[in-house]
């Protein structure tokens, strides 16, 4: 097995791998990496190849350049390691990350943060990987199994969820999905309104312009709207990748809440994802802990049924030579 | 370089964004472009009577600045340098009805290149004494809002020095800047940097409705020249006919600033290419106190910069500041942290490292300093430090060896339960003694870990989700080892060190 930088010509193979890999995720897709570059990140894309030059694993590392000589290299939802060769593959990637950590201009990287979407810490993550103080993705989420029939999906929802979907249908709430750029400002208006109302940190309009433009062009994302009497009342941003449709962001108006537009929208999104061949509807972030920031909207998500999925979260591997560099510079 | 271009259709026109930043809204872009270009070209026309003018536009690929410059019959040649062919293509096609076809005007030569590289080559190869004809009568900088260290190079001392070399001695530079009320320190940083390059500079600000709607605040421009620009010149400018927004009377008012905002110009240092001074000011705009007003209020005391000639302030041009003094270096951050601790330890913060970093996020992370330290294998780190002990002062190396021995003894001793740990950590008499080096190492490691995490914005932490496993309590299961007690002790010791050092400094 060898490790080498992925070339543009490897893009299709890489995206195929990340879509079919059992723990693959859109955050390791070529397009997502391009989007992050627009947002100021540097990306470093590496593949693991077997003897016949077949791509069997790899990782896209992300790095946000700054000048403090204290930084992290990230790999959200990664690495992707070939079965039975995990330890060897991880070692190759670690060596590469450590090389990268030395060549980050005036800044440096003191650690690699990885976040494989696994339910238990694997053997290839030895004791040098320590739990990160923050995750790159939610380590707890809610999945709806789209392989079930629509009637079963409805039957497995909580009564309130099922009732509210019916209510929205009786009110005649319409849903529409689009990947037209023109939808971005309408999405953002509602997202911003919601963020202000609920007091959570909102990404900028520019962030969504960059995200949507990039992903729309590759058929990776759609914006959904729920409309009532011609007015947009709710919106969601969906990411399609591999077997999953992920609900990444959303927002709703305070007006006409009684017609339950958000319920109509998610139900339509699930039906659409199912038709498009996706196996899982991922609500992206969930917690049963009343003290957790996700608790409030998790109660809403729970109305749709589904299964809670937990992953091991992010883990850090420290480059002690780099950390010692930083300390020595300040001690002198 | 990949770029995101977005044209938003509105009932009253279009809005154009580059990398998510609004460039113009067709409903009010005339305010921006007329004030950016017309005063500079009118001044150049006055200072170079009966001459054909050569103008350089840096950026401006949308063609709107070129449109307004072409209003002057005296302008004979415009070089437009923009790094994006895509923007220029939009300028030639989609925006042609707005820029009146300026980019296909025979007077306009377009160069697809980074402006810094273009100017560098021009100055090195052509702008000599004998090739005076290559210099410009006016240079207009129409850049996108700087969002990274790389973006800020075109506001650096080196950049303005290049502009000066490419400019005729009486020539005029006009540059867009940032918001004087939203990014006060950053605005004055650019102002002082221009002065440090040996140019006299006048600041001006405008209210542009579409910019205000995007929460950008008032928008700032700077007008500069080697020869000071004076009120009588401004009052007697000959403006082209049919301007939409600019008039001589209005122009004389835009040099007016609230005194509180204006006075902060003395507190900034200049920006150089290899530092992140300007980015630091852009990211840490909340650290300044000034009237919380998004408009120029008639109730606040004001000064008009047309009425006097500002000299570069000592703080901006002192020898110290011309040396590389990067405020986002770890060294500078450590100093800044210490100063905060000395002045107000209860509101200890770390300067923002990223545009999504807020004081609330800093505060949250500071509360987790102990958890961060628990990640570190201190015996391993100290061994690494001792491998390079020759790079350290002898006394520090000796202290580290002593610490290493203490850790070994501690690890060999019977582990303490949590209650005992707490008791020891809070009881100063029974707490093991730490020397100054130990405390200093811990403080440095704490800061390094905090900065690394704060500079890593791609985390769900910002939305309120942290690693939910409570890894302090199950540290031994996840490989963090039995160092929880040490993390706690060392955090306490580190903070004591900082307080003591602050007190020492006071004496």
pLDDT digits 0-9 by tens, A191-240: 999 988 988 778 899 999 999 999 999 999 999 999 999 999 999 999 99
pLDDT over 90 (residue B491): no
Q: What is the pLDDT of residues B333-385, one digit of tens each?
A: 887 776 776 677 666 678 888 888 887 788 788 878 878 888 999 889 999 99
B114 appears as a binding residue in the annotation: yes
- Strand A244-252 to A280-282 pairing: parallel
Q: How confident is the model at residue B329 (pLDDT cuts 50, 70, 90)?
A: confident
Q: Quick one: what percent of chain B has pLDDT higher than 70?
A: 78
Q: Considering CB atoms only, which of B354, B388, B468 is closest to A324?
A: B388
pLDDT over 90 (residue B479): no
Higher per-residue confidence, B1 vs A320: A320
Q: Return the pLDDT at A300.
A: 94
Q: Return the pLDDT at B297.
A: 52
Q: Return the pLDDT at B469.
A: 35
Q: Say if the Cβ atoms of A113 and B456 lie within 8 Å.
A: yes
Q: Say if the Cβ atoms of A200 and B479 lie within 8 Å.
A: no
B326 appears as a binding residue in the annotation: no
Mean pLDDT within B102-129? 91
Q: Return the pLDDT at B425.
A: 45
Q: Return the pLDDT at B143.
A: 96
Higher per-residue confidence, B243 vs B315: B243
Q: Return the pLDDT at B429.
A: 47
Q: Which of B377, B391, B453 to mutate to test the interface with A (most CBs of A within 10 A)?
A: B453
Mean pLDDT within B150-157? 94
- Strand A174-178 to A315-318 pairing: unpaired
Q: What is the distance in angstroms between the Cα of B120 and the nearest Cα belonging to chain A?
A: 22
Residue B420: which residues within 8 A CB-CB, separation 6 or more? Answer: none
A1 and A85 Cβ atoms separated by less than 8 Å: yes
Q: How confident is the model at residue B226 (pLDDT cuts 50, 70, 90)?
A: very high
Q: Return the pLDDT at B415.
A: 53
Q: Return the pLDDT at B331.
A: 85
Q: What is the distance in angstroms between the Cα of A116 and the nearest Cα belonging to chain B?
A: 14
Q: Considering CB atoms only, which of A38, A313, A326 is closest to B469?
A: A313
Q: Return the pLDDT at B424.
A: 39
Which of A131-140, B54-63, B319-328 has maximum average pLDDT?
B54-63
Mean pLDDT within B469-498? 41
Q: Considering CB atoms only, which of A184, A204, A323 is closest to B448?
A: A323
Q: Considering CB atoms only, which of B392, B478, B479 is closest to A332?
A: B392
Q: Which of B463, B473, B474, B501 to mutate to test the interface with A (most CBs of A within 10 A)?
A: B463
B33 appears as a binding residue in the annotation: yes
Q: How confident is the model at residue B442 (pLDDT cuts 50, 70, 90)?
A: confident
Least confidently predicted of A128-142, B194-208, B293-307: B293-307
Q: Return the pLDDT at B129.
A: 60
Q: Say if the Cβ atoms of A70 and B330 lie within 8 Å.
A: yes
Q: Say if the Cβ atoms of A182 and B9 lie within 8 Å.
A: yes
Q: Return the pLDDT at A127.
A: 87
Mean pLDDT within B130-134? 70
Mean pLDDT within A10-28? 94
What is the pTM (predicted TM-score) of this model?
0.88
Q: Return the pLDDT at B493.
A: 54
Q: Say if the Cβ atoms of B6 and A200 lie within 8 Å.
A: no
- B115-125 and B157-166 helices, crossing angle to 10°: 50
Alpha helices (H) in B48-156, listed in sequence order: 64-69, 85-92, 96-99, 115-125
ipTM of the complex: 0.93
Q: Say if the Cβ atoms of A135 and B451 lie within 8 Å.
A: no
- Looking at chain B, which residue has its C-alpha nearest residue A129? B479
Find chain A residues with C-beta within 8 A of B324's C-beta.
Answer: none
pLDDT over 80 (residue B133): no
Q: What is the pLDDT of residues B171-180, one digit of tens each?
A: 999 999 999 9
Q: Return the pLDDT at B289.
A: 44
Q: Return the pLDDT at B149.
A: 86
- Averaged pLDDT score across all residues of chain B: 83
Higher per-residue confidence, B317 vs A3: A3
pLDDT over 80 (residue B78): yes
Which candidate, B209, B451, B425, places its Cα nearest to that of B334?
A: B451
pLDDT over 70 (residue B405): yes
B290 appears as a binding residue in the annotation: no
Q: Return the pLDDT at B459.
A: 66
- Looking at chain A, which residue has its C-alpha nearest residue B464? A293
Least confidently predicted of B253-257, B430-434, B441-445: B430-434
| Overall residue count recorded for chain B in this entry | 507
pLDDT over 70 (residue B147): yes
Find chain B residues with C-beta within 8 A of A289's C-beta.
Answer: 468
Active site positions of B, annotated:
142
Find chain B residues with C-beta within 8 A of A68's C-beta.
Answer: 328-330, 333, 353, 451, 455
Mean pLDDT within A21-36? 94
Q: Return the pLDDT at B128.
A: 67
Query: What are phi and psi for residue A115, nearest 5 degrees?
Result: -150, 70
Q: Considering CB atoms only, which of B149, B440, B447 is closest to A331?
A: B440
Q: Return the pLDDT at A302.
A: 95
pLDDT over 50 (residue B480): no
Q: Tally C-beta pairs within 8 A across A and B.
A: 222
Residue B235: which residues within 8 A CB-CB, separation 6 or more? Answer: B248, B252
Q: Return the pLDDT at B505.
A: 46
């Amino acid at each position: 097995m060898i490790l080498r930088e992925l070339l543009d010509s490897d893009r299709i193979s890489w995206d195929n791998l990340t879509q079919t890999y059992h723990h693959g995720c859109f955050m390791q897709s070529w397009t997502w990496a391009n989007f992050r570059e627009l947002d100021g990140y540097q990306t470093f894309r590496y593949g693991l190849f077997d003897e016949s030059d077949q791509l069997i694993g790899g990782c896209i590392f992300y790095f946000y350049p700054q000048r403090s000589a204290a930084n992290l290299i990230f790999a959200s939802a990664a690495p992707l390691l070939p079965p039975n060769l995990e330890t060897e593959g991880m070692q190759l990637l670690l060596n590469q990350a450590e090389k990268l950590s030395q060549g980050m201009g005036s800044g440096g990287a003191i650690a690699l943060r990885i976040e494989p979407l696994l339910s238990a810490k694997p053997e290839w993550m030895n004791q040098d990987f320590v739990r990160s103080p923050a995750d790159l993705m939610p380590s707890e989420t809610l999945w709806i199994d789209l392989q079930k029939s629509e009637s079963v999906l409805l039957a497995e929802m909580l009564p309130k969820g099922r009732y509210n979907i019916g209510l929205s249908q009786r009110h005649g709430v319409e849903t529409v999905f689009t990947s037209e750029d023109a939808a971005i400002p309408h999405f953002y208006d509602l997202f911003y309104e919601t963020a202000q109302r609920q007091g959570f940190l909102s990404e900028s309009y520019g962030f969504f312009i960059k995200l949507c433009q990039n992903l729309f062009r590759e058929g990776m994302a759609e914006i959904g709207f729920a409309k009532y009497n011609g007015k947009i009342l709710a919106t969601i941003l969906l990411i399609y990748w591999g077997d999953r449709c992920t609900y990444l962001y959303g927002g709703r108006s305070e007006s006409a809440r009684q017609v339950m537009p958000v319920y109509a929208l998610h139900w339509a999104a699930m039906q659409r994802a199912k038709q498009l061949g996706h196996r899982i509807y991922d609500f992206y972030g969930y917690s049963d802990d009343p003290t957790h920031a996700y608790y409030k909207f998790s109660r809403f998500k729970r109305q749709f049924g589904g299964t809670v999925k937990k992953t091991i979260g992010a883990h850090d591997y420290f480059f002690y030579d780099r950390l010692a560099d930083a300390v020595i510079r300040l001690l002198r | 370089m990949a770029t995101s271009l977005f044209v938003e259709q509105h009932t009253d026109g279009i809005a154009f964004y580059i990398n998510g930043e609004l460039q113009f809204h067709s409903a009010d872009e005339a305010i921006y472009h007329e004030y950016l270009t017309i005063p500079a070209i009118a001044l150049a026309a006055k200072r170079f009577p009966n001459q054909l003018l050569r103008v350089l536009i840096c950026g401006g690929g949308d063609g709107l600045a070129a449109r307004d410059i072409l209003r002057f019959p005296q302008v004979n040649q415009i070089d437009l340098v923009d790094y994006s062919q895509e923007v220029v293509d939009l300028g030639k096609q989609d925006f042609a009805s707005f820029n009146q076809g300026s980019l296909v005007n025979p007077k306009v030569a377009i160069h697809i290149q980074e402006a810094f590289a273009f100017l560098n080559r021009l100055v090195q190869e052509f702008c000599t004494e004998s090739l005076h004809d290559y210099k410009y009568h006016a240079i207009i900088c129409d850049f996108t809002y700087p969002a990274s260290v790389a973006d800020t190079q075109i506001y650096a001392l080196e950049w303005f020095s290049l502009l000066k070399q490419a400019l005729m001695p009486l020539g005029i530079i006009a540059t867009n800047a940032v918001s004087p009320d939203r990014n006060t320190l950053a605005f004055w940083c650019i102002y002082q940097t221009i002065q440090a390059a040996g140019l006299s500079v006048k600041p001006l600000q405008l209210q542009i409705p579409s910019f205000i709607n995007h929460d950008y605040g008032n928008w700032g421009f700077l007008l500069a020249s080697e020869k000071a620009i004076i009120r009588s010149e401004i009052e007697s400018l000959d403006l082209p006919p049919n301007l939409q927004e600019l008039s001589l009377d209005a122009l004389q008012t835009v040099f007016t600033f609230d005194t509180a905002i204006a006075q902060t110009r003395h507190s900034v240092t200049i920006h150089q290419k290899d530092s992140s001074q300007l980015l630091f000011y852009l990211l840490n705009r909340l650290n300044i106190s000034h009237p919380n007003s998004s408009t120029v209020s008639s109730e606040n005391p004001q000064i008009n910069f047309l009425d006097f000639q500002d000299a570069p302030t000592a703080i901006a041009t002192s020898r110290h500041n011309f040396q590389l003094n990067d405020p986002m270096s770890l060294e500078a951050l450590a100093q800044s942290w210490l100063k905060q601790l000395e002045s107000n330890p209860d509101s200890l913060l770390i300067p923002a490292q990223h545009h999504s970093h807020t004081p609330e996020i800093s505060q949250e992370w500071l509360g987790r300093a102990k958890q961060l330290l628990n990640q570190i294998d201190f015996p391993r780190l100290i061994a690494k430090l001792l491998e390079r002990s020759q790079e350290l002062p002898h006394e520090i190396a000796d202290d580290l060896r002593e610490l290493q021995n203490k850790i070994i003894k501690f690890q060999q001793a019977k582990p303490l339960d949590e209650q005992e740990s707490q008791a020891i950590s809070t009881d100063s008499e029974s707490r093991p003694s730490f020397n100054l080096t130990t405390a200093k190492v811990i403080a440095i490691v704490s800061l390094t870990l905090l900065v690394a995490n704060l500079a890593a914005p791609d985390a769900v932490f910002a939305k309120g989700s942290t690693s939910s496993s409570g890894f302090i309590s199950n540290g031994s299961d996840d490989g963090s080892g039995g160092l929880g007690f040490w993390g706690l002790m060392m955090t306490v010791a580190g903070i004591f060190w900082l307080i003591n050092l602050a007190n020492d400094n006071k004496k």
